[in-house]
């Protein structure tokens, strides 16, 4: 019977050992083809050219030692089964390799051909099994998420019906209501809104898990979002006679984050705090800087509630974790809130954690990146270790024709931003993240590495492309202008970093002054840093 030939890659630098292994392989019953190399680099090259059925790997090679050898092979070709060839004294190391993903190990000097053949077959089968398992897991996750999306979609229909008719009654559209009837209906409406929130959470958590959650970072002031949160939740806090306060560090820098998502996190954390704090307790929302970490803003929500047990602390950020009894049992929700918060914070490259002891309240803290124009500019304004020769600030202003704006304004400006990004050279121009919370009248800025004359080409392209954005003319007027950025002459010995910082400061000043077509940036007097 014809058996397929097993391709073996033998990475072994000791010629004696290599010959012995080769001999044993050939002695075996099944056909093998052996490729032998004596350096890791050659082994990796062979793997790049063609994947063998199995790799026999000596861990100690001229260009790599021990666990590092295996790690590099695994990194390079994660799907090829590896059998480690270990010396008599290296058994512990070989065992460690198995732990890290090798399929098997053999001790040199003790290898019979039957032994070798079996080890190879076993390694190949085991690897195939592992891969099949991975595929199944991925499929199951995909199926689960699709199922949850489908379920949350289906639940909306009856929910909508209930919502419609309850609001109809409450709005008096089916006749006047007796006060008690109104109260009862309001109670129903509260549950409807809860259900709605649960469905939304379910969908959001599912999206977060499938990697489909999106954040659109803007340059925002946290203080506004915190005040919004407190305003929204104050009625709930008052109902329970819980004090709700804000503490803001005076000179808090702007952060680079998605305002809608951050608001979601804030609301989640403060709402939780209120839920788990007994009446006459207090909840505090604070934002501050930490000296040891100047690139982040720290936001903390603290409460005088029951605290969290050490076992629960590691679990609360997982999905569906519900604490036994919240103070109000009828407001428990699905237990997805903290999971969603964690995912959102992760998407902003931030961290979230809790410090708490039972009976001593809790403090939930998360970080958000500080908005640094200099950091965003650096990659595009530096070329061959120097600042590029000239820059122009292009301003694109969208003013809706009607108030409130027609159609979905958020979608409109988002499309414009996307279009703008396609009009610039990504390696030399920067489209600034939008400023402030998305309102009406959006203004976008581009720092372009060019001169005023050349910038005309860019502005013409922007105008042409924006015209193509669906129906834009019926929704808003577009004003495009460009102004050269006047920088003070670089001082002798000034670091590149400092020059970029100066550019960033100049741009920020121009933007703050709400420049129009005729205004020019007033250059700083030399030496007046």
Partner 1 sequence: MARPKILVVDDDPDLVRALRLRLRANNYEVTTATDGYTAIAAAQKERPALIILDLGLPVGDGFVVLDRLQTIDSLSSIPIIVLSARDPQSNEERALKAGAAAFFQKPADNDELMNVIRVSLSPGQQQQMAPWPS
Tell how strand 255-257 and strand 218-220 pair up: antiparallel
- The 3-state DSSP class for residue 300 equals strand
CB of 488 to partner 1, least distance (A): 33
Structure tokens at 334: 């699905």
Nearest alpha-carbon partner for 412 in 445, 444, 447: 444
CB of 238 to partner 1, least distance (A): 24
Binders in 411-440 for partner 1, by CB under 8 A: 411
Q: Looking at beta carbons only, is 148 or 289 nearer to partner 1?
A: 148
Residue span binding partner 1 (CB under 8 A) among the ranges 127-135, 170-178, 307-315, 359-367: 170-178
d(CA 266, CA 252) in angstroms, rounded, equals: 17
* Count of chain residues binding partner 1 (CB under 8 A): 36
Q: Looking at beta carbons only, is 327 or 478 nearer to partner 1?
A: 478
Q: Are 247 and 273 within 8 A, CB to CB? A: no
CB of 471 to partner 1, least distance (A): 8
Residue span binding partner 1 (CB under 8 A) among the ranges 25-33, 78-86, 465-473, 503-511: 465-473
Q: Are 312 and 335 within 8 A, CB to CB? A: no
CB of 89 to partner 1, least distance (A): 58
Rule CB under 8 A: say whether 161 interacts with partner 1.
yes
Residue span binding partner 1 (CB under 8 A) among the ranges 101-109, 355-363, 396-404, 435-443: 396-404
Listed in order, strand segments (DSSP E) in 217-346 are 218-220, 243-248, 255-257, 282-290, 293-303
CB of 462 to partner 1, least distance (A): 13
Q: Looking at beta carbons only, is 98 or 232 nearer to partner 1?
A: 232
Among 164, 309, 322, 454, binds partner 1 (CB under 8 A): 164
173 secondary structure, DSSP code: B
Rule CB under 8 A: say whether 407 interacts with partner 1.
yes
Catalogue the long-range contacts made by 45-50 (C-beta closer than 8 Å, 24 or more residues apart): 46/9, 47/9, 47/73, 47/76, 47/77, 47/80, 48/76, 50/7
What mask, x for binding partner 1 by CB under 8 A, covers residues 189 to 228? ---x---x------x---x----x-x--------------
d(CA 115, CA 100) in angstroms, rounded, equals: 22
Nearest alpha-carbon partner for 257 in 148, 177, 133, 348: 348
Among 7, 149, 194, 210, binds partner 1 (CB under 8 A): 149
Nearest alpha-carbon partner for 341 in 353, 330, 331: 353
Rule CB under 8 A: say whether 163 interacts with partner 1.
yes
d(CA 312, CA 157) in angstroms, rounded, equals: 36
The number of angstroms, rounded, from the C-alpha of 123 to the middle of its chain's C-alpha atoms is: 37
Among 122, 165, 298, 321, binds partner 1 (CB under 8 A): 165
CB of 235 to partner 1, least distance (A): 18
CB of 192 to partner 1, least distance (A): 8
CB of 67 to partner 1, least distance (A): 44
Q: Looking at beta carbons only, is 99 or 214 nearer to partner 1?
A: 214
Q: Looking at beta carbons only, is 312 or 478 nearer to partner 1?
A: 478
Taking the alpha carbons of 123, 124, 125, 126 in that order, is the dihedral positive or negative?
Answer: positive
Q: Is 467 exposed, middle or buried (0-12, 13-18, 19+ CB in 10 A)?
A: exposed
Hey, how many other C-beta atoms are within 10 angstroms of the C-beta on 167? Answer: 13
What mask, x for binding partner 1 by CB under 8 A, covers residues 474 to 513? x--xxx----------------------------------
Summarize as ranges the residues that interact with partner 1 (CB under 8 A). 149, 153, 156-157, 159-161, 163-165, 167-168, 171, 173-174, 192, 196, 203, 207, 212, 214, 401-402, 404, 406-408, 411, 463, 467, 470, 473-474, 477-479
């Amino acid at each position: 019977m014809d058996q397929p030939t097993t391709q073996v890659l033998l990475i072994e630098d000791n010629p004696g050992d290599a010959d012995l292994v080769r001999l044993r392989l050939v002695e075996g019953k099944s056909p093998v083809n052996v490729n032998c190399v004596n350096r890791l680099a050659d082994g990796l090259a062979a793997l790049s050219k063609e994947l063998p059925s199995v790799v026999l790997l000596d861990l100690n090679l001229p260009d790599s030692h021990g666990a590092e050898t295996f790690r590099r092979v695994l990194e390079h070709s994660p799907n090829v089964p590896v059998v480690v060839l270990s010396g008599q004294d290296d058994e512990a190391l070989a065992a460690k390799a198995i732990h890290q993903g090798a399929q098997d190990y053999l001790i040199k000097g003790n290898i019979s051909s039957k032994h070798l053949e079996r080890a190879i077959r076993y390694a190949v089968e085991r690897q195939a099994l592992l891969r099949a398992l991975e595929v199944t897991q991925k499929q199951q996750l995909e199926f689960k998420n699709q199922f949850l999306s489908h379920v949350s979609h289906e639940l909306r229909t009856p929910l909508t019906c209930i919502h419609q008719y309850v609001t109809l009654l409450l709005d008096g559209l089916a006749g006047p209501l007796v006060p008690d009837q109104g109260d009862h209906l309001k109670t129903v409406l509260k549950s409807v809104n809860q259900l709605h929130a649960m469905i939304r959470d379910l969908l959001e958590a599912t999206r977060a898990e499938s990697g489909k959650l999106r954040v659109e970072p803007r340059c925002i002031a946290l203080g506004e979002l915190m005040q919004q949160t407190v305003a929204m939740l104050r009625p709930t806090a008052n109902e329970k006679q819980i004090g709700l306060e804000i503490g803001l560090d005076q000179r808090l820098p702007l952060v680079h984050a998605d305002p809608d998502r951050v608001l979601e996190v804030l609301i989640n954390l403060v709402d939780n705090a209120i839920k788990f704090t007994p009446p006459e307790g207090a909840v505090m929302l604070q934002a501050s800087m930490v000296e040891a970490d100047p690139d982040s803003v720290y936001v903390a929500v603290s409460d005088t509630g029951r605290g969290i047990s050490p076992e629960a602390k590691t679990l609360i950020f997982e999905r569906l974790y519900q604490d036994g009894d919240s103070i109000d049992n009828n407001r428990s929700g699905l237990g997805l809130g903290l999971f969603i918060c964690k995912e959102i914070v992760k998407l902003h490259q931030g961290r979230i954690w809790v410090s708490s002891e039972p009976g001593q309240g809790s403090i939930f803290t998360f970080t958000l990146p500080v908005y640094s124009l200099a950091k965003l500019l650096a990659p595009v304004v530096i070329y061959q270790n120097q600042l590029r020769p000239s820059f122009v600030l292009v301003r694109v202003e969208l003013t809706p024709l009607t108030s409130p704006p027609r159609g979905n304004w958020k979608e409109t400006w988002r499309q414009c931003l996307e279009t703008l990004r396609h009009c610039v050279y990504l390696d030399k121009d920067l489209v600034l993240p939008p400023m402030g919370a998305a309102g009406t009248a959006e203004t976008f800025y581009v720092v372009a590495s060019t001169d005023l004359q050349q910038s005309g080409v860019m502005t013409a392209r922007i105008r042409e492309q924006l015209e193509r954005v669906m129906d834009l003319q019926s929704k808003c007027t577009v004003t495009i202008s460009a102004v050269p950025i006047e920088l003070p002459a670089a001082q002798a010995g000034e670091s590149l970093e400092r020059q970029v910082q100066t550019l960033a400061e100049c741009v920020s000043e121009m933007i703050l002054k709400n420049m129009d077509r005729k205004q020019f940036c007033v250059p700083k007097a030399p030496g007046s840093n």
